[in-house]
Amino acid sequence: MEQEDKYANIDLTKVYEYSELPDKKSGRCDNCDGVRFKSSVSKGKFLRECTNCGMKKNI
């Protein structure tokens, strides 16, 4: 139940850590189920951003 709550209240202004919030469906956005991402590397972290809704996650 606690795991589902994490996915129900996604804050699009926050950058999530993959270790804390793994993909609900591998390779898809947890918020909108999109498959297109833009990505960048900064400070040794790989940042993935959904091109549809803007959800960000460090992988």
Q: In the chain, how many domains are there?
A: 1
| Cα distances (Å, whole numbers) of residue 10 to 3, 35, 36, 42 | 12, 17, 18, 23
Q: Which residue has the tokens 């990505």?
A: 39
Domain that residue 41 falls in: 2-58
Q: Give this prediction's pTM.
A: 0.86
Instruction: Please compute the mean of the pLDDT values over residues 5-11 and round it to a whole number.
Output: 89
The answer to whether residue 1 scores a pLDDT higher than 60 is: no
**Residue 21 has which token pair?**
């919030």
Q: Which helix (H) or strand (E) holds 50?
A: strand 45-50
User: Per-residue confidence at 3, pLDDT binned at 50, 70, 90?
Assistant: low
Helix (H) or strand (E) holding 5: helix 2-8
What's the pLDDT tens digit per position in 17-53? 999 999 999 999 999 999 999 999 988 999 999 999 9
